[in-house]
């Protein structure tokens, strides 16, 4: 009887792992080698407390790998552009809001393990962070060359429309300030929140126009948070 229970339990576990592996393959477009890596990458600290179980370390690694892949892509795509242009383009492609939107479009939300009863997480950018962790997992599982191919095929080409981004003014904050000045509007960028998210500090900036909150943005520094908020405000005001 004990042997039967052990075999039964083992078959259930294998079935569960097989289901998870199939879901990962369907969403990410690759077959996981080390399934545990992907399970860790998809585990938010709201359900896994320790660094070896949640995705914060993989997020750190994936952030660096993704930045390197995109930098290499832009360097080769624009052989005659300067450092300033390349840096701005990379910021447009891998900013916090962009990555969160891509993660949601890919269907990463349904794979992520997080506290679904915490309402503050539903509107947060944990899925963009999770996407970075997944990049880290792919890198450890497949190596840099395969990761580079995967990032280009699954993230850059279908979701980062480089030609469109090239024409977007990166300094949306200045565009918004110019609009407010021209139309006699009072405008301020207010720090709404500052908290630790894992090992990094997350800033939330509100854009307030004539005393009313128009938009909100988040980032790991105030500049990125302000740009993210400005992007939302510019879209709402039809200034794009």
CATH number of 14-165: 1.10.1520.10
Q: Find residue 205's DSSP bridge partners.
A: 191, 217
Q: Find residue 200's DSSP bridge partners.
A: 197
Domain with CATH 1.10.1520.10 in the chain: 14-165
Residue 132 is among the residues annotated as catalytic for this protein:
yes
Q: Which of 59, 63, 88, 141 is catalytic?
A: 63
Domain with CATH 3.30.160.20 in the chain: 172-237
Tell me how far apart the alpha carbons of residues 193 and 182 are, in angstroms, rounded to a whole number. Answer: 29
Divide the 240 residues of the chain into consecutive groups of 10 and give the mean pLDDT of each group: 46 69 94 94 89 90 96 95 87 86 93 83 81 97 97 95 76 81 87 83 90 88 82 83
pTM score? 0.72
Phi-psi region of 112 (alpha: psi -120 to 50; beta: other; left: phi over 0): beta
Strands 200-209 and 212-219, bridge-based pairing: antiparallel
Residue 53 is among the residues annotated as catalytic for this protein:
no
Contact call for residues 78 and 165 (beta carbons, < 8 A): no
Write down the pLDDT at residue 15: 67
- The secondary structure of residue 113, as a DSSP letter, is B
CATH number of 172-237: 3.30.160.20
Q: Which of 56, 59, 88, 132 is catalytic?
A: 132
């Amino acid at each position: 009887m004990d042997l039967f229970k052990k075999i039964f339990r083992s078959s259930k576990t294998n079935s569960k792992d097989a289901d998870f592996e199939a879901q990962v393959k369907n969403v990410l477009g690759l077959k996981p080698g080390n399934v545990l890596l992907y399970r860790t990458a998809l585990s938010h600290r709201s359900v896994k407390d320790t660094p070896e179980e949640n995705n914060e370390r993989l997020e750190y690694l994936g952030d660096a790998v993704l930045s390197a892949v995109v930098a290499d892509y832009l360097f080769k795509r624009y052989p005659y552009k300067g450092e300033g242009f390349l840096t701005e383009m990379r910021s447009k492609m891998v900013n916090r809001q962009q990555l969160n939107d891509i993660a949601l479009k890919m269907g990463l939300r349904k794979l992520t393990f997080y506290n679904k009863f915490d309402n503050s997480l539903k509107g947060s950018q944990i899925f963009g962070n999770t996407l970075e962790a997944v990049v880290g997992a792919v890198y450890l599982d497949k190596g840099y060359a395969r990761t580079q191919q995967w990032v280009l095929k699954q993230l850059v080409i279908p979701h980062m429309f480089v030609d469109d981004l090239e024409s977007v003014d990166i300094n949306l904050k200045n565009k918004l300030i110019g609009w407010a000045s021209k139309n006699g509007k009072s405008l301020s960028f207010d720090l709404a929140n500052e908290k630790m998210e894992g090992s990094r500090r997350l800033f939330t900036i509100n854009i307030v126009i004539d005393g009313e909150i128009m938009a909100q943005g988040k980032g790991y520094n105030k500049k990125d948070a302000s740009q993210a908020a400005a992007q939302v405000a510019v879209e709402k005001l039809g200034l794009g």
